Amino acid sequence: MRLLVVLLPWFIRRRALQALFGYRIHPTARIGFSWIFPRELVLAEYARIGHLNVAVHLDRVELGAHAVLDRGNWITGYPSADRRHFSNRTDRAPVFVLGTHGAVTKGHHIDCTDRVEIGAFTILGGYRSQLLSHSIDFAENCQAAAPISIGDHCFIGTAVVILGGAKLPPRSVLGAMSLLNRAFGDPGWLYAGSPARPVHALPPDGKYFARDTGFVT
């Protein structure tokens, strides 16, 4: 049934997704030929999901107004109702949130075993980045998961790795091929390296960090 739904023209598919799965999709939002089947889906006005994306085994996917998930991205998780793993984390939330005017470009892998939130006006750029919210707790010999938080008006360079528990503050840049494995608190910095560290402060009057539309000309 899901395959048939994916192949429907969009104006019919949107109604089918709402009727069959209870998804909340604004009339101006759009999904290309992608396999997007979380338990809950919320697409605000003019949100767009491009072609050849996959989003499965998630409790919730939410895109804010004008947010864009471009194409060829793989977003997976581990449903909270399944207790075979992560039983020590009763508050775990396999959720993906992309804020207003946020953008994820092409060919990224986002593991939402725990919550991954990308803020408003933030761009996950380039290709082949990995956001990995789960790992192994070696001390307890069990699966471990922790959320990933990326603030508003950030830019993330190509081919980065971001691990569970990491936090990138608002108005920050994560340099290409960096490893972000901890929570930082100071906004307005370029973080780079493996592991990432604050390299230098960014100009507080930079227009990127105050723009009111996600698209950069």
Does residue 216 lie within any of the structural domains? no
Does residue 2 lie within any of the structural domains? no
End-to-end distance of the chain based on CA atoms, in angstroms? Answer: 40
CATH number at residue 50: 2.160.10.10
> How many Å apart are CA 164 and CA 46, to the nearest integer?
30
Does residue 7 lie within any of the structural domains? no
Does residue 13 lie within any of the structural domains? no
Cα 104 vs. chain centroid, distance in angstroms?
Answer: 7
How crowded is the C-beta side of 32, counted as CA atoms within 13 Å? 13
Does residue 34 lie within any of the structural domains? yes
Tens of pLDDT, residue by residue over 134-179, are 999 899 888 899 999 999 999 999 999 999 999 999 999 999 999 9
Residue 33's domain comprises: 22-210
217 pLDDT more than 90: no
Return the exposure string of 129-144: e unless at least 16 CB atoms fall within 10 Å of the residue's CB, then b: bebbbbeeeeeeeebb
Q: In which residue are the tokens 């840049």 written?
A: 173
CB 164 within 8 A of CB 147: yes
> How many Å apart are CA 58 and CA 56, to the nearest integer?
5
Query: What pTM, to 2 d.p., does this model score?
Result: 0.96
CB 116 within 8 A of CB 96: yes
Does residue 107 lie within any of the structural domains? yes
Domain count, the chain: 1
Cα 50 vs. chain centroid, distance in angstroms?
Answer: 14
CB 41 within 8 A of CB 34: no
CA-based R_g, the chain, Å: 17
**Which residues share a beta bridge with 111?**
76, 132
> How many Å apart are CA 141 and CA 153, to the nearest integer?
38
Does residue 41 lie within any of the structural domains? yes
What is the mean pLDDT of the segment spanning 69-89?
Answer: 89
91 pLDDT more than 80: yes
Does residue 15 lie within any of the structural domains? no
CB 129 within 8 A of CB 97: no
